[in-house]
Amino acid sequence: MIVKPFGPAGRDVPAIGQGTWNIPLRGAAADEAKRALRRGIERGMVHIDSAEMYGDGGAERVAGDAIRGLPRESLFIVSKVLPSNATARGTIAACERSLRRLGLDYLDCYLLHWRGTVPLRETMHALERLVADGKIRTLGVSNFDVDDLAEARSVLEREPIACNQVLYHLNERTIEAHELPYARRHGIATVAYTPFGRGAYERAAGFATLAEIAARRGATPAQVVLAFLTREPDTFAIPKAASAAHTAENAAAGELRLDPDELAAIDRAFPAGRRRGGLPSL
């Protein structure tokens, strides 16, 4: 698994992590999802992404079961506060609830899920308070455009922004125009959510290029997608997989380095296009 520094002076984190949105919460499917997460961790995908929003805290509980008993320092656990909870006191309380559901005493990174109506200064200071209190190691944001990133940086007093988690897949490369270069200039990691784009790449004309590269490299098209999105030293992806077969496939993508010709061919097959409008999100 390729690992790289996550944000300024950040820890080494695997290029490919594991998402938990829409993870099954009950019954045999939840047991399979826990096994899948665990298998993913064993294969190096120790970055687990969750949020208080996912399943109303249920996803954090499932993730908590999956990581129970594993050495804490080997894991990189991320969760997110809902904008509606992101006041000075609400952020602290939300983090404490997430920690309880995950069975942890600190998070590796804690993000504002998207920007809401609470002043950014208030939320960012609450996140800095959580760092000072040892409840989170680093702080980050999600669905932030360049103006939001600049404002967040300007109101933070002590801590840098570790990451911006954004919608990024082969059919949605908007972030490459502004958010990714801005993040790079300021040492902020970019984390690609929904990296498979609801399967849009499979229906696109460019799929033949992916299939051809995959066949040549003994890989699958999904693995080529993940390798492309994480091709830069500061880009990460967090696919969600509820089956152990998908988890194994995604983890193996973390070993795949595409060469410049392959990257150029994918770039032509799935062009970034000209930026129109703001930052897209789900």
Binding site for ligand NAP (CB under 6 A): 19-22, 49, 113, 142-143, 165, 193-196, 222, 238-243, 246, 249-250, 281-282
CB-based contacts of 165, cutoff 8 Å, min separation 6:
49, 80, 111, 140, 141, 142, 143, 191, 193, 238
Sign of CA dihedral 267, 268, 274, 280: negative
Phi then psi for residue 231, to 5 deg, are -70, -20
Strand 12-14 relative to strand 3-5, pairing: antiparallel
The nearest distance, CB 186 to ligand NAP, in angstroms, is 19
The nearest distance, CB 246 to ligand NAP, in angstroms, is 4
The nearest distance, CB 262 to ligand NAP, in angstroms, is 18
The nearest distance, CB 134 to ligand NAP, in angstroms, is 25
* 107-128 exposure pattern, b = at least 16 Cβ within 10 A, e = fewer: bbbbbbbbbeebebeebbbbbb
- The number of beta carbons lying within 10 Å of the beta carbon of residue 238 is 24
At residue 207's C-alpha, the angle toward residues 205 and 208, to 5°, is: 95
Helix (H, G, I), strand (E, B) or coil at 13: strand
**By C-beta, is 10 or 140 nearer to ligand NAP?**
140
The nearest distance, CB 12 to ligand NAP, in angstroms, is 20
Q: Which residue is nearest to ligand NAP (CB)?
A: 19
Distance CA 152, CA 59 (A): 28
Distance CA 81, CA 91 (A): 7
DSSP H/E element including 140: strand 136-142
The nearest distance, CB 127 to ligand NAP, in angstroms, is 16
**By C-beta, is 150 or 282 nearer to ligand NAP?**
282
